[in-house]
Copies of this chain bind each other. A is one copy, B any other.
């Protein structure tokens, strides 16, 4: 296995361009972030998710890099969905009492503008807190302040 990994990295380094090496660096640092429990998932780690909690919100930010691009070289709609679902899911699990968790049952994304610039921040807010379900609102904002996605999510509450 180790030889395979070195061989894959050697191949990257000898044939990949500068962009690719940056992507590999971001990814390996992301795996390390997961190992050190800075992120709860590999996908959160490799996207470089950083979270900030306040009383009523959960903000999750990622840098915009080639790793986040779709084939048109703008942020992949799935990456934006992953970002906002992570912010909502984190907030859902924070506001629930000990011993309860929440899983997404519905996620609706309205994409408003392309994801460009240096980074994206998803802000999740609670719309409804019931005994069986939660509803969240999520906005994704560029570093120039433009809202690029507006979303809503429903979560089902379960006993762990």
Contact = CB atoms under 8 A, between A and B. Distances in A.
A4 interface: yes
Number of copies of this chain in the oligomer? 4
A4 B23 contact: no
Interface residues of A, number: 72
A13 B130 CA distance: 43
A23 to B, nearest CB: 6
Interface in A62-106: 66-72, 76-79, 81-83, 85-86, 89, 101, 103-106
Contact of A112 (B15, B42, B82, B130): B130
Interface of A: 1-2, 4-6, 8-9, 11-13, 15-16, 20-21, 23-25, 27-29, 31-32, 34-35, 40-44, 46, 66-72, 76-79, 81-83, 85-86, 89, 101, 103-114, 127-128, 130, 132-133, 135, 137, 147, 150, 152, 154, 156
